Amino acid sequence: MESTRQHAMTVLSTVLTEKFEVPADRIDDDATLADLELDSLAVVELLVTLQEELGVPLDDSEASGETTVGEVSRAVVRLLGADEDRDGSPGSGTAPGPGAAAPPEVVE
């Protein structure tokens, strides 16, 4: 069974490749959205699409081209209420560790 982190990355990668035509081999945790040639409008569109696909409330006001793929993925995982730190299974309920990047912001 796919962990929440894997699911978030799968959806994120699929959206980036299919909607924004980003080559799959360029998508990794350290790549910024600007590295993937997403401008500010595309960043907003990406986050709106992820909200629709995953049902999570992402705030696009803090995201920018300097936000990394890993930061977006971790924000989604946090919003889904699970993290891969424990056993990798969805619903483990652990929060990101100290110093973990949080953009984009969570909308409460």
Q: Which helix (H) or strand (E) holds 16?
A: helix 4-18
The pLDDT of residue 90: 42
- Rounded mean pLDDT for each run of 10 residues along the chain, 108 residues in total: 86 96 96 96 95 88 89 91 46 38 51
Of the candidate CATH numbers 3.90.1150.10, 1.10.1200.10, 3.10.310.10, 2.30.110.10, the domain formed by 4-79 belongs to 1.10.1200.10
The pLDDT of residue 107: 53
- Which tokens sit at 54? 């995953």
* pTM for this prediction: 0.72
φ, ψ for residue 32, nearest 5 deg: -80, 160
The pLDDT of residue 74: 92
The pLDDT of residue 72: 94
Q: Tell me if 104 sits within 8 A of 67, measured CB to CB.
A: yes
Please report, for the chain, the start and end positions of each structural domain, with discontinuous segments joined by +: 4-79
The pLDDT of residue 61: 80
